[in-house]
Amino acid sequence: MYKVQLQLVLTLILAIESGLPIVNWTHSPVQQVSKTPQTPPDPNTTPGGGLDPSNSSCKQTKQRLTALIPPKNLGLTTSARPTFWFYIPYISEDIKRGEFVILTQDEKTVIYETTFQLSQTPGIVSISVPLSSKSVLEESKTYRWFLRIYCNKSRTDRADLVVDGSVKRVKMTVERERLINAASPDIWYDSLTHLGDVLLTSPPDEKFKNDWNKLLEFIGIKELSKEPLVGPVLINND
């Protein structure tokens, strides 16, 4: 210890004699480094949460699996059991199964999960939390959701394609009801579902079709407006 102090004194004397600036010898606080290792991303992951279809076992398609969600990934709903919309470019023979799960924001608790099959038409499909579900989305809370596709040629237990997003439930108000009826993107999931349900159950209406196209254009997927609106997936009775 004395040797260290002597070295510091000698260094200080030399600095003074040579005219060099004297540095501050006080110790700076040591930053805490997290010991928790960072989980490396899946090598097939692309920005936005999807797995790169070129590296999957799924057949190649012109359009990729796409979640119909806002650019910032977080969409609002007033519903305790909302509906989610996706473009899936496959038919029933192309996949083993699909999975959909809703989790709490910390991804520790499952709110709802199901498996499903597709119809014979690729296109825009919907998945709804059923009325029979005991768990519901609570107001003012944010949730995470994941949709996974397992293709027929896959040789592993891992999903070939994945998209994910977030949803927050807000309280229904007169103003929010007006926004939903006006097909505003502000209450995303409800506006999209309102239009989708109308287009699936009513005669063709240019106004609703135009509003639907505007929502797709708002999230940068205008090209999907030409794809068939298929409707609900076929939920498996597990």
Domain hosting 123: range is 53-170+222-235
Q: Return the pLDDT at 71.
A: 87
Is position 47 within any domain? no
| pLDDT value, residue 238 | 62
Tell which residue, 148, 146, 150, 118, has the closest CA to residue 230. Answer: 118
The predicted pLDDT at position 140 comes to: 97
What stretches in the chain show pLDDT beneath 70? 1-56, 238
State the pLDDT at residue 15: 47
Distance CA 126, CA 93 (A): 19
CA–CA gap between residue 199 and residue 194 (Å, rounded): 9
Residue 76 falls inside a structural domain:
yes
Tell me how many domains the chain contains.
1
Does the reported pTM lie above 0.95? no
Identify the CATH number of the domain in which residue 85 sits.
2.60.40.10
Instruction: Identify whether 118 is part of a domain.
Output: yes
Question: Tell me, what's the pLDDT at 56?
Answer: 64
Q: Give the pLDDT confidence of 103-141 residue by residue, as tens digits.
A: 999 999 999 999 999 999 999 999 999 998 888 999 999
Task: Supply the DSSP symbol for 226.
Answer: G
In a domain, 29, yes or no: no
Tell which residue, 114, 117, 106, has the closest CA to residue 142.
106
